[in-house]
Chains A and B, each alone.
Chain A
Amino acid sequence: MDERVSLAIIGGGPAGLAAAAAARERGVEDIVVFERDTRLGGILNQCIHNGFGLHTFKEELTGPEYAGRYIEKVRQLGICCETGSMALSISPDREITVVSREKGLRVVRADAIVLAMGCRERPRGALNIPGTRPQGIYTAGTAQKLVNCMGIIPGREVVILGSGDIGLIMARRMTLEGAHVQVVAELMPYSGGLKRNIVQCLDDFGIPLKLSHTVVDIRGRRRLEGVTIAQVDRTGAPIPGTGIDYPCDTLLLSCGLIPENELSLTAGVALNGATNGPLVDDRLQTSVPGIFACGNALHVHDLVDFVSEEAGRAGTHAAEYILNGGHGAGPCVRVMPGEGIRYTVPTTVHLGDGDDQVRLRFRVRDVYKGRAIRVTSGGEAVLLKKRRIMVPSEMEDVAIDRRRIVDGDLRVEIVEVEP
């Protein structure tokens, strides 16, 4: 006998919790959150630094505090959360195979599903860094878990490759824990993390950031003994003769995050090659009806506040899908990433005469100073927004009146500002 629920949410991190709360507030009674870890909160539990919640709560919280607000909310709303439960697969008609210690292996059928599995870090192997494979190489997030949740310092002499936010945060954390962070190397000519993290985590501690540099060799048989860092040319290829050896026992990698969608693929959800997240419409519905996506499983965010907001919308749309017995198909237009735009979320938008705003989120390909974001609908400009600076490490977010969208491609692009 199959179990049935109205809404199943896969992942009890910030995205899943916000989606659950929003769906309950919109009127869905029967909700279950499946969380594979032993506790709710996701990666926020290991983010003990502050800086979370400035948008959502207008105050500065640590990661666990931010998660705590949503965990409390979900508890107050009486939403069922199963921790230690991992969804193994989802069928296209929304039968979820779940496994846990307590309840064993079972199938749960859901009227709608919100995918909120988060993302993973790009490991050393995927970076094709040559050399040996000793102990002492960690992704920044793994090191963060060891230090902040388990009280283990993975090493004393540290080199960091990649200037993603977790790498920057860990440069500071390792320094505060008494380790010596020698250098942060970044392959690109610009940082992969937020400006405030460069200032607060590197500059304030005198840790050098070497842009256009990468690790070209790893040494040490059992334990890491050293790495070589070299300058790279514009194509990312190391420039011969620029290598410098850094003796170290620890190498942290902060070289990009990848939305985790192996589960989505089991349901037949189509992915966007640019994000590795599902292709979604402006209701955050994937290519499979009744399956929605949000948070870092959809695309990698810079701030958790934006995750919560987006996940709330996914929860609301999922609730409407359930309460209305499905969404009307309705005409859609495509959202096309134009000049300077790496991707957009969503990639399709429903036409309609509602007075709501359509949110478009995207990342730019390069550093742009003094340019503008232009959105056109069927060739007509519907939005022009000047921006002092745009960088690939920060997500951009614009809103458009739905009534201004006509039948024709929506195009997002970076344009010169007319004098």
Chain B
Amino acid sequence: MQFPESGTYIPALMTAAKTGLSAPKVPAEIDFPHRHLLGIQDLSPDEITYLLDLSDSYAEHNRARGGKLDIMRDKTLINLFFEDSTRTRTSFELAGMRLGADVINIAVANSSIKKGETIIDTAMTLNAMHADALAVRHSNAGAVKLLSEKVNCAVINGGDGSHEHPTQALLDALAIRRRKGHLQGLLVALCGDIAHSRVARSNIYLLQTMGARVRVIAPPTLIPPAMERLGVEVFHDMRAGLEDCDIVMMLRLQRERMEGSFVPSVHEYFKFYGLDYDKLQHAKPDALIMHPGPMNRGVEIDSDVADDLDRSLIREQVEMGVAVRMACLDVLTRDRPDTTP
């Protein structure tokens, strides 16, 4: 794929600035001390709020078809995906392009990693290419952090094993905040494969940091050890767990991460843990439904529920994904005095 040179877009931005139509109304900058975005656990409430506010402004910019910006002009984003992904990779790609960056995708299937190159070797290679930001996904927990220690640019964790997926949690929070107006005090149910889910972990940290309460609902085999120690309530009965919930966040059954048998059959799983209107009745009447995608329709979520425009936030989650990734790329690639590795 050919990208037009980023310089092309300066006039567009200048025009935008003149007319005041499309320049994002960015919140006042705060001191963002992180070089990388590896996990929600590293972020303070103020930093999360700032990222959400900035994302919100990009969301409006995108909705208004504000066009390309030059915030990352002459900068390069490399999407390094050691694990297959369509939506997250595309979302990062679009975010980078909207900020005016040059974007390169490296998929593992046709890279030297499959030929035995280690993650450290990969980092060395990337260093030589002088990228400004890396969006990385890897199937092993901690692998993105390991890479971040060896490269001389900003690294955004696009999901590492069952550990964290911070941009997903930010986009989920943004989608919720835009609809509900706030996060504080909400009761959120995370349902499904908690044990293998990085989305669940990042969401738990973010929602709790922002004052929401979190429940997890799953069969006991899909709840990881000492789950209560993370400050959540654990339910094995979905109807009881959904009682009074404002948000019902469904998680994908990650069959590829499962060693051995965690649930006896998809059929049984859907009967007890799949979201349908009958179970949804137990949540608040205005409860919203979310899913990080890709959905297994008929496994963890009924098609009618997923497609219910009044109740489902699923489409907005995807939309907010681009805005959140624009905000993260923006913040992490700003010129900073202490850019020594």
A and B assemble together: no
Residue positions of B touching A, CB distance < 8 A: none
